[in-house]
Amino acid sequence: TGKPRQHGINNWEVYKAHIGGKRAVQNSLERISDVAQKMRLAFEKPDWPEAGRLMREEWSFRKRNLPTISTKTIDRVIDSARRNGALAGKVCGAGGGGCVVLLIEPEARPRLEKAIVDAGAQALPMTIDRQGVQVVSR
C-alpha cells in the first residue's frame, strides 16, 4: 500500500486482548489456526479455489481482532483485486499498511496489476519458493 505503520502496536493490542481474556480475539485466533491447517491441505492438493476461500475466511477473522488491522486503502485494493479476478487477498504481517498478498490465477496478473495501481497501491513482483527455508551450516 505504500503506507507506513507501527506493526508493533497492532501486535501488542491483539496480544493484550488475548492474554486479557477477550473471548472474541481468542476465538478469532483459534479460527485462524483452524483455517491454516485446512489451507495446508488445499495447497497440497492443489485446490486453488478452496485456498482462495480459506484465505478470505482467514482475512475475515484477522480483521475482527482489531479495527486498525485493515485500512481504507487495504480494503480498496483487496476489493478491486477481487472484482478483477483475484481468488483472495489479505494483509501481510500485523496489518495497518504495508503489503497485501493476493492469490491469483497466472493469466489474471496483468489485469490485476492495473487494478491494484488504480486502487492506489504498487504491484510488487514475487514468486513462490517451492523449496522453502534451507539451513546452511558452516
DSSP letter string over 32-83?
Answer: HHHHHHHHHHHHHTT-HHHHHHHHHHHHHHHHHT-GGGS-HHHHHHHHHHHH
Residue 78, CA atoms < 13 Å, CB-side half-sphere: 22
Q: What is the pLDDT of residue 69?
A: 83
Q: What is the pLDDT of residue 25?
A: 84
CATH superfamily of 7-118: GHMP kinase, C-terminal domain (3.30.70.890)
Say how far apart CA 39 and CA 88 lie, in whole Å.
Answer: 13
Spans of all domains in the chain: 7-118
Q: Check if the beta carbon of residue 124 is closer than 8 Å to that of residue 91.
A: no
**DSSP category for residue 84:** T
The tens-digit pLDDT sequence of the chain (138 residues) is 556 556 677 777 877 778 888 899 899 999 999 999 999 999 999 999 999 999 999 999 998 888 888 889 899 999 999 999 999 999 987 777 788 999 999 899 999 999 999 998 999 888 777 787 888 887
Using CA atoms in the order 53, 58, 64, 70, what is the torsion angle rounded to 10 degrees?
A: -90
Residue for grid cell 496478473: 109
Name the nearest CA neighbour of 126 among 109, 111, 108: 109
Residue 125, CA atoms < 13 Å, CB-side half-sphere: 0
